[in-house]
Amino acid sequence: MARNQKVAEFDVLVPVEGIAKIGGEIEQRVTLHRLWQVPDREEALARLAPKIKAVIATSHHAIVDAALMRRLPNLQIVASFGVGYDHIDAAWAGEHGIMVTHTPGVLDDEVADIAMALTLAAVRQLPQAERYLREGRWPGGAYPLTASLRGRTMGILGFGRIGKAIARRAAAFGLDVVYHGRAQQTGAPFLYYPSLIGMAKACDILMVAAPGGAGTRHIVNREIIEAVGPEGIIVNISRGSLIDEEALIVALREGKLLSAGLDVFENEPNVPPALLALDNAVLLPHVGSASRHTRQAMADLMIDNLNSWLDGKGPLTPVPETPWKG
């Protein structure tokens, strides 16, 4: 089938607004329903439900849970934009014969770069130093000395593609690298810790790079945070739900943790005022993969997944819960 040929009676639901390119390209082949544009979402969903064969989750704000999928009796595939897919009930989808795809691989380096940038910014107080200069305070004296990366150990929580990309960068910076995950990985040239608390006690930079979801919610709790220590740094580039935000705020405020670098938060885009008030927290608005180059690559892979499905070839990058059996 030609790539620009319309597929008869293939309706696709887009719950929330996302990158325009995705909808524009997909619409050449399918009938697209942009749910966020209709005045009455419930009425539209009830009317469209029997027609919908695919859902495009263009951001992690597009919740595709069992409740939504139950309403779509002819749903075949959920195509997600991003490597993380905790906003989709992939287990339920797999149990009910629904394919779920995501966009791994194409954003690893971009996110790993931001992970190291946050690490440097947190340990060397780079945003604070820049403010010092901009506020005209330099003529009154040099900026105070900061902590250093020298002699530190980075413990990486989650050792998938992004975790490995971070490890390569951290090693190039001269850091010792250790990791914790569900299981030890054959061939990984770094020390594995079977328990998170054990790794937290052994490292002074805790890099959070594990998937989100119910199984990892608040996995970095008060005990883990305090185990990293008063000279320690916590960096999170995965999902805000992995860290107990309140416990992190208390530790930063009370000097039980040196600093934190965060690109993600529990209730995005709302960041707690108490966290904003802390000068020892470096905060970014979830920009880990937000370069034009990488977002284009993510969009292309998402579109390619859906096009491959429409062509009867199956998905390119299915999630583990919904493997393609051909």
CATH number for 276: 3.40.50.720
Indicate whether 161 and 275 sit together in one domain. yes
Q: Calculate what percentage of the chain has a pLDDT beyond 90.
A: 91
Q: Calculate what percentage of the chain has a pLDDT beyond 70.
A: 98
Indicate whether 264 and 299 sit together in one domain. no
Indicate whether 167 and 205 sit together in one domain. yes
Q: Looking at 239, 245, 266, 295, which residue is catalytic?
A: 239
User: What is the pLDDT, as a whole number, of residue 1?
Assistant: 40
User: pLDDT tens-digit profile of 188-219?
Assistant: 999 999 999 999 999 999 999 999 999 999 99
Q: Looking at 131, 168, 268, 293, which residue is catalytic?
A: 268
Does residue 6 belong to any structural domain of this protein? no
Does residue 325 belong to any structural domain of this protein? no
Indicate whether 88 and 188 sit together in one domain. no
Band of residue 98 on the pLDDT scale cut at 50, 70, 90: very high
Residue 153 near residue 191, CB atoms below 8 Å: no
Domain count within the chain:
2
Cis peptide bond N-terminal to 39, omega within 30? no
User: What is the pLDDT, as a whole number, of residue 21?
Assistant: 80
Which residue range is the domain that position 270 belongs to?
Answer: 108-283
Indicate whether 66 and 133 sit together in one domain. no
User: What is the pLDDT, as a whole number, of residue 2?
Assistant: 46
Mean pLDDT of 233-257: 98
Indicate whether 129 and 220 sit together in one domain. yes
Indicate whether 53 and 157 sit together in one domain. no
Across the chain, what does the average pLDDT equal? 95
Indicate whether 134 and 94 sit together in one domain. no
User: What is the pLDDT, as a whole number, of residue 39?
Assistant: 93
Does residue 205 belong to any structural domain of this protein? yes
Indicate whether 21 and 133 sit together in one domain. no
Determine whether 150 is an active site residue: no
Determine whether 33 is an active site residue: no
User: What is the pLDDT, as a whole number, of residue 3?
Assistant: 54
Q: Looking at 33, 60, 169, 286, which residue is catalytic?
A: 286
Does residue 125 belong to any structural domain of this protein? yes
Indicate whether 173 and 276 sit together in one domain. yes
User: pLDDT tens-digit profile of 260-312?
Assistant: 999 999 999 999 999 999 999 999 999 999 999 999 999 999 999 999 999 99
Indicate whether 123 and 265 sit together in one domain. yes
| Residue 59 token pair | 């951001």
